[in-house]
A and B are shown apart, each in its own frame.
Chain A
Amino acid sequence: MAIHSPANRLWWNERIEKQELIWILVAFVWGLIMFFAMIYWHIAGEQNLSNESYRVDPETYAETVESFTETYQVREEGDTGIPVVHPPAGSDIYMIARLWEWYPILELEKDKTYRLHLSSQDWQHGFSLQPSNINIQVHPGYELVVTITPDQAGEYSVVCNEFCGIGHHNMLGRIYVTD
């Protein structure tokens, strides 16, 4: 039994039964398929997370976002006057996460490609784009640049899905995609 020492002291010489052997082979091959699926998706798939990231000082990043916002602001929204920016298609766009907001609100054009910069000013946050359901971790001190192509028009929300203190559940941002 499994709670006793093996009856056959030379257990490593025992033959492996065919049924077990086949299953091991099936499982091993399936593992290889799953492994190469990830590599294949980098070649043929359209949803891959960028590897482009930089170390950045949180305050410097906040200043970059502020000047980006001032340049392209088109209106304000909400009780607190959150700026809405409409950057040119194909440009670098910025969003900062901080206690407890996603700043600013972005207005993008459908089927245009943008370089989205993401970083945090304080703690870790989670960029969760809904309802499209794209989830990216946002760190202070690291700036991720991900190329996105919104392919459907509509109103998207950015939920924070990394716990960031007592205001976490009120941390909501927005991205508009216009036709």
Chain B
Amino acid sequence: MSFTLEGVGFTHANGHRALAGVDLRVAAGERVALIGASGAGKTTLLRVLAASLRPGSGRVELLGSAPWDAAPRDLRRLRARIGVVHQAPPIPPRQRVVTAVLAGRLGQWPLWKSLASLVLPVDPEGARRELARLDLAERLYDRCDCLSGGQLQRVALARVLYQQPDLLLADEPVSAMDPALSELTVALLNDEARRRGVTLVASLHAVDLALRHFPRVVGVKDGAILFDLPAGQVSEALLRELYAAEGGLPLAGSPLPSPSPEAGPAAGTLPPLRCA
């Protein structure tokens, strides 16, 4: 079992109830999409799964251990095995791309190695390899403030790929990307999870992306799970109920003719942004 949530609830300090009675069990290697209207609780749920938010009630077990009963050292080790792709890339603008990607392994490296890597990158080849999968290899030594929003999001993705986590979480990973790039990025995440046999949970605003790429789809509404079904069994009626408040289904737009999971983003789709 990759993780188990039993009766998980969380209420914000201002009294807003973000999660209530959430039960979710996901086996190792499963790929799950979280869908639902904005404010439904998808991000809160992912933060609980990332061991970064302690739920007010219920039981959490991640990768075989209970994070909130663990000793600080064990909790740190557990967190190093969980990779999160954030909605907004949490990368300082002045940092170089190579440093931002190598930062993925700070949880695994001893301190001396982390600090030495600031002086001279210890594994530029590893960083370049992950960037190459996202078609950004030639930006290795550029500064992150020279990148476009979509490129920066791909750098953040490369960091998580470099981390090689056992549990891969993604919170709206394609929110700053155009439809074609979104398609390829979601395909890449799925490809990575399949290749390494790790668990992937991604929240997606676009329903069609979720249904096309993920075998299992979980609909979240008002802090609770509305349905948890194989992608093929998610009916039109269920989706209408899920998005009742938004008055329509959010879609990513027309997909590419046939996105192959192997291919990286096509070179032509990238904005030719360069720093002098």
Does B bind A?
A: no
Chain B residues in contact with chain A, CB under 8 A?
Answer: none
Chain A residues in contact with chain B, CB under 8 A?
Answer: none
